[in-house]
Amino acid sequence: MRYRDAYSVSRPNCGRTLRLLGDAAAMSSLLPKPQLRGLLSKWLRFHAVGAFLFSAGSAVIYKFSVAEPRKRAYTEYYKNHDPIADFEALREAGVFESVKPKGK
């Protein structure tokens, strides 16, 4: 294959690309015009909506899979919790230095 057969030629006002391959020339379809203005705002609109939906979904999943069961567990624990009995058990175990166990 010769050098001149392996390159592309673009004509400035046409929007078409001519590619030379061997002895045959292949013409591509019209190339779409690139977006030159408003690309950042379009990108931000798309990704901001996606980020908002993702964060809202994550918050809802966390609330119902972690926070609510934790609240129920704390409520159940404090329903049956007797702090005086816990203190007595810790005192008898000798955890406190300032309070002697009852037997001593």
Phi-psi region of 87 (alpha: psi -120 to 50; beta: other; left: phi over 0): alpha
Report yes or no: 10 and 17 within 8 Å, Cβ to Cβ: yes
pLDDT at 12 over 70: no
CA angle centred on 79, ends 75 and 81, rounded to 5°: 110
3-state secondary structure of 83: helix
Each domain of the chain, given as residue ranges in start order, spans 38-92
Encoded tokens for 6: 């392996």
| Tens digit of each residue's pLDDT (9 = 90 or more) over 44-85 | 999 999 999 999 999 999 999 999 999 999 999 999 999 999
Instruction: Give CA–CA dist 65/38, Å, rounded.
Output: 40
Alpha helices in 27-104 (DSSP H): 39-62, 68-80, 83-93
The percentage of residues in the chain with a pLDDT greater than 70, rounded to a whole number, is 72
Average of pLDDT values for 85-95?
A: 93
Encoded tokens for 31: 């190339």
